[in-house]
Chains A and B, each alone.
Chain A
Amino acid sequence: MDERRLDGNAIGGDLMELFGTEMTVAWAVCRSCGAHEQLAEMRVYRDAPGIVGRCVHCEAVLLRIVHAPGRSYVEFSGVASLEMRVS
């Protein structure tokens, strides 16, 4: 059992700081398997040099976030499309 696996809720604060809006309700399409899920549901590993979000269906890496002093590195190459609600 992998108790280090969290979910996208755990990085809602990091995503909000980067995007300026609540992101865990955004829908992401996995580039690897095509699954369509909300970011809150992805598998998150953050006991690591950075944050890694993985597809809940195929485990492919959806995103990586690295916080460095005064800057963050954000990589979403595993996300084919991101649907964000606007009001």
Chain B
Amino acid sequence: MPVISRGFHGRRQDGPPDRVPPGQYVTEDFPVLSAGPTPHVHLDSWTFEIQRGGDLLHAWTWEEFQGLPREDVTRDIHCVTKWSKLDTTWEGVSVDTLLDAARLLDEDSAYVLAYSYGGYDTNLPRDDVTGGKAWVVDTFDGEPLDPEHGGPARLLVPHLYFWKSAKWVRGLIMRDEDDPGFWESNGYHLRGDPWLEQRYWGD
């Protein structure tokens, strides 16, 4: 049994149970998580790519990406380190729009691997990034996305734990197999649904 530290409560705040998944606490801040140095990507060399089996299927420059139809997105986000942040507001392009523009809506891969500038990657079922569930966002709270939060652009998959919302996203690889990404290959759950508390292997 751990020793109880008299008067210690941490800085946790409970939220409405219908919006805050089990084991999570609400934060007003936006904690910065990083597994490495922050990449600083110049917009004139930025691209977003879709690949399959080593073939580049489509790529957008920053300017081309800015020309795609955009959406405003307001969602709650849930980090596996136990904070949740309610009503975060983003702006970007849905993955459906990207696949449509690349004429890949009929492409039948069951999984994707999102990969990032700086070397990070994370695996997702294709069904979790299509059907209005995921975006490539470049704006947070009305401002260009700060590099420490993943700017120029990050993936946003708010219904899964936030490690799936890859910062500094650079592209998607369409795949038939669900091969694990950076955290999923060392203990973290392959899918990461916060409402099912899928934090670690075996959860």
Q: Which residues on A are within 8 Å of B, measured CB to CB? A: 2, 4-5, 45, 47-50, 52, 54, 59, 61, 64, 66, 68-69, 72-75
A45 touches B200 (CB 8 A): no
Residue total for B at the interface (Cβ-Cβ under 8 A): 20
State in angstroms the CA–CA spacing of A72 and B187 once bound together: 8
Q: Among the listed B32, B36, B37, B187, which residue makes an inter-chain contact with A66, where contact means beta carbons less than 8 Å apart?
A: B187
B36 pairs with A52, CB closer than 8 A: yes
Most chain A CB neighbours (cut-off 10 Å) among B185, B187, B199: B187
Q: Is the CB of B33 within 8 A of A68?
A: no
The answer for the CA separation of A2 and B35 in the assembled complex, in Å, is 12
Q: How far apart sit A74 and B119, CA to CA, in the bound complex (Å)?
A: 19
Interchain pairs with CB closer than 8 A, number: 54
Q: How far is the CB of A30 from chain B (nearest CB, A)?
A: 15
B115 CB, min distance to chain A CBs, angstroms: 15
Contacts A66-B200, A68-B200 given: A47-B36 contact, CB under 8 Å? Answer: no
* CB within 8 Å of A: which B70-124 residues: 80-81, 119
Using CB atoms, name the residue of chain B closest to A1. B38
| A residues in contact with B32, CB < 8 Å | 4, 47
What is the CA–CA distance of A54 and B118 in the complex, to the nearest angstrom?
12
C-alpha gap A61/B186 in the complex (Å): 13
Chain B residues within 8 Å of A45, by CB: 34-36
**Contact residues in B for A48 (Cβ distance below 8 Å):** 33-35
Chain B contacts for A64, CB-based, 8 A:
186
